[in-house]
Structure 1
Amino acid sequence: MNDVPWYTDGRLRYGVGIEDTFIPQEAVGHRKLDLYELTQHYAHWREDLELVAESGAEFVRWGIPWYLVEPRPGEFDWSWIDQVAEKMRELGLRCIVDLMHYGTPLWLDNSFLNASYPERVASYGRAVAERYRDTWTDFTPLNEPAVNAEWCGQNGSWPPYLRGQDGFVKVLIPLARGMVRTQQEIAAVHPEATFVHVDAGFLYDGDTSPEPRAVLDERRFLALDLVTGRIDDTSPLRDWLARHGVTDGDLQWFRDNAVHPDVIGVNYYPHFTKVRLEQGTSTPVRAGTDGLRELIELYSARYDAPLALTETSLVGTTEEKIAWLQESTAVVEAMRGEGHRIIGYTWFPFFTMVDWLYRFDQKEPDEWFLRFGLVDLVRGADRGLQRVKNQAFEVFRDLAAGKVDGVQQRDVA
């Protein structure tokens, strides 16, 4: 194994991600949401990984469906994961393993509110790290804790269906505990492991919302600040957290058990990461490269760690995707030249995804297609989903190979 961590060599690596949201719980009016099933990744995974390799990506963000791998507490079925891991090894793909992408197994009552959740998810993470320690070295303990807390705790859309700011906090705290325990358990069996913590760093315009703008500006960092033990009595959110039931003992636990990511992943979408707040509503604002620069600067100033753009893309024409590829990579390279330690760029999702809103009606998946990808999904007469590369795929491949004019690639210390 290489003694020099890959994220310290100063290079910018290009990667892609395969959308892997799993919400297996059903309810009246709420369908199961498994993006691997809806995009037929379970059937086409070999082809999908070969396309990833063909794109020139050096890494892939790819997630494990926990609810299928651990169908009963402590019982694991690795049969499919074994095949995927071996294929990635054959292709020479670095996998940043997405251990938790929103959903919990069906047997875990009340989802993240279950008292055993932090230990259950940590035990699962440890089992993955032990089994695949010779293949996978890079792990994301939990994807986008802020989004997870919004959909599960603030908006009441996913289990455990809480609402409001109080619900947001009540979900985020066990999520953060689970992140800490997962990293601790993986490090215990895989000391060389790399940890990539990923969140969506929302940007805001305006001041009117259910909570003061100052709270929202700090809240975007809350999960990362908790797991790294940064929240104390002087923190801007201390009183806000106390109002929602977070005790001194809770915060002391995080300080006593602080873990630190090797890489901080920031997710940014030019058409909806930034929102305008007014009269209790939020409206997406197209922020373009200005928003990308603003977000990277915020995280770069706050944390002393390498950064990766772990998700970016847009729904639009092929020409619009190509334009965003060129514009966003140019900004990333310019910021690297200014001293920002950006070590990864990720087009996510790699192919067409099904909108999460599919869960809430009975329309066909095709009616919820969002064509973010470098690869389009096209329904055939046999109902299968063909993988069709669009022209943005070729542009990405050229960028990854350093062949695109106008994007000066630099090494950073």
Structure 2
Amino acid sequence: MNTPVPPSSGTPGAAPSASAPPSTSGAPDGAAPRDFPIRRGCPFAAPAEYDALRTDDPVARVTLPTRREAWVVSRYNDVRELLSDPRVSADIRRPNFPALGEGEQEVGARLRPFIRTDAPEHTRYRRMLLPEFTVRRVRAMRPVVQARVDELVDDMLAAQEPVNFVSVYANAVSTSVICELLGIPRENLEFFRDVTRISGSRHSTAEQVSEALGGLFGLIAGLVAKRQEEPGDDLISTLVADHLNTGEVTLNELLSTIGITINAGRETSTNMIALSTLLLLDRPDLKEELRADPSLMPAAVDEFLRVLSIADSIPLRVAAEDIELSGRKIPADDGVIGLLAGANHDPEQFDHPEQVDFHRPENHHVAFGYGVHQCIGQHLARLELEIALETLIRRVPTLRLAVDREQVAFKHDSATFGLEELMVTW
């Protein structure tokens, strides 16, 4: 299928390939930049090195897998300041955009996902989606999400043990919910997971990412054409009627917007459901606390979001002008990354940040980012997590690992941290 692909438009500078030479601005104080990303030692915490960064080098020079250099910011107040500073750009077309994957910038500069754009372009797309993700709209989805989660628990319990929890439950919940919202048939839930596995891997080439997203865009293009002929009451129908048919967006722009909504929405929720479940299996005291008092679940979800911080290095930015954080100047045109896990484990903001505390007061974490680019789907993500975890604790109290704990495989090389698989029984 020939899938429409959004063309590259006027750029602030030609987007270089991932093999572009590193910046020549050097590391602060003459020190050699450390390699980034830094692998987690514990899956339920930020990398241990972040503690030293916050104390000794809170705005640190790093070398990325592309061999380009950038800055990483690890303190809570600095991360919030960075992500709300209008002098900082999210435009993926900027030459020193700190992409972490081989093909990420090349494909992103061509497809223009709205999370990698600046105002007024970003504002236009965000306003287009915002009405569908309000607290009121999301609350209205609760009965539908609960019914689907109950179906998936039924299917899991009817399956032959052991099962891969990531596939049969975590991915099935998150993908079903986003498909329900958009009006996408959910015949092949693993298709969406495969697309994200390729497009979100730091080792995928531009050609591999383009091929994976091409399949996704082909599916969406067919649904858009169908909704133009037969509108429904789903989000794709609304976007077609209110924005495509009116000429506010082109078909390519609509495909990109829907595509990033699917990819970002389902991947983060999949990883959060699976990783939170593993944490509860490791910590039966936490599971018992939630079973004894289900009203704690909303607070527990926010604490899981803070502790796990699976989207740690998603906030990729470029300084459009010189900026200063913690007394260090980041020169204009340098790439900079706000470390969400660093901020969420900052002891200056959270007492005993390594502890999982469902009674933590004023849990103002930045797991969904901060500022104008804060995750538009955060209310829906919270709803999915609340229902998925509460239902699991209530209906499958004997859930346990079917393999040795050391055999659990984690995704260290993906845009969001999570689990490759989780074999369970009950």
Q: TM-score, normalised by structure 2?
A: 0.28
Comparing both chains, which one has the higher relative contact order based on Cα–Cα distances under 8 Å and sequence gaps of 6 or more? 2
Q: What TM-score, normalized by structure 1, do the two folds share?
A: 0.28
Q: Which has the higher helix share?
A: 2
